[in-house]
């Protein structure tokens, strides 16, 4: 894997990986915490209430300060979380897996990136590859096969944050007494 990936820039047609693979290896920096932990894409309709940013708005009619909720996509102010969620409900936002910062798609596409250091490559099923990708993990595909680039090493795979979250989503680990984050 290392060898083939290192030869991407040579444009060898026998190389199963190309420039697109390289882009997959690049991780965006979070503008808030500067980590490259990754982002989760979330539909605004599925965004939890606590992820909506609030602001204090001075209401000139009633002469009082009101809390308003900002639409995470367009930034417009709304009186309730429901209104803020309904504003751009079909759009997606990106949430930092490290600090929880939520940004919109334009901001996400403008983030600086850096190639992630991969310690181990694992061949995984395409199904598991998709799940890992959803969790912000590095997964490259070639010729119908998926490869997962682990950025941690020396610990059991079940302790990897992304694997733990997948398991959690599938409720496999439900009831296990462990703090995963
Ligand atoms: Zn909006
Ligand atoms: Zn962050």
pTM of the predicted protein model: 0.64
Cα of 84 vs centre of ligand 1, distance in Å, is: 7
Average pLDDT of the segment spanning 137-144: 86
Q: Which ligand is nearest to the CA of 70?
A: 1
How far, in Å, are 2, 77, 132, 139, 145 from residue 7 at the CA level? 9, 49, 25, 18, 19
38 Cα to the center of ligand 2, angstroms: 8
What is the pLDDT, as a whole number, of residue 181? Answer: 47
Question: Where along the chain do its domains lie?
Answer: 1-29+112-181, 37-111
Nearest ligand, CA 28: 2
Mean pLDDT of 17-45: 86
42 exposure class (CB count in 10 Å sphere: 0-12, 13-18, 19+): middle
Q: Which helix (H) or strand (E) holds 133?
A: helix 126-134
Q: Is the pLDDT score of 158 beyond 80?
A: no
Q: Compute, in angstroms, the gap from residue 60 CA to the centroid of ligand 2.
A: 35
Residue 123 scores a pLDDT above 60 = yes
More confident residue, 121 or 152: 121
Residue 176 scores a pLDDT above 60? no
Q: How far apart are CA 108 and CA 95, in angstroms?
A: 10
pLDDT of residue 141 exceeding 90, the answer is no
Is 70 exceeded by the pLDDT of residue 49? yes
Query: What pLDDT score was predicted for residue 170?
Result: 78
Instruction: For residue 111, give the ligand nearest its CA.
Output: 2
d(CA 60, CA 49) in angstroms, rounded, equals 27
Q: Tell me whether residue 160 is exposed, middle or buried, using C-beta atoms within 10 angstroms of its C-beta: 0 to 12, 13 to 18, 19 or more.
A: buried
Let me know: does 35 contact 96? Beta carbons within 8 Å: yes
Is pLDDT of 70 > 50? yes
For residue 180, pLDDT beyond 50: no
């Amino acid at each position: 894997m290392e060898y083939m990936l290192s030869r991407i820039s040579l444009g060898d047609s026998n190389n199963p990986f190309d420039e697109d693979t390289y882009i997959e290896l690049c991780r965006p920096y979070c503008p808030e915490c500067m980590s490259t932990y990754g982002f989760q894409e979330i539909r605004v309709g599925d965004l939890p209430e606590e992820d909506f940013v609030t602001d204090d708005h001075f209401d000139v009619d009633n002469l009082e300060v009101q809390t308003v909720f900002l639409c995470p996509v367009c930034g417009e102010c709304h009186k309730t979380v429901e209104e803020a969620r309904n504003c751009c409900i079909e759009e997606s936002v990106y949430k930092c897996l490290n600090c929880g910062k939520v940004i919109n798609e334009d901001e996400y596409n403008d983030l600086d990136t850096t190639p992630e250091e991969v310690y181990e490559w694992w061949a995984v099923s395409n199904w598991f590859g998709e799940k890992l990708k959803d969790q912000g993990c590095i997964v490259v595909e070639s010729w119908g096969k998926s490869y997962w680039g682990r950025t941690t090493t020396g610990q059991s795979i079940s302790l990897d944050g992304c694997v733990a979250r997948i398991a959690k989503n599938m409720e496999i680990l439900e009831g296990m007494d462990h703090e995963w984050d």
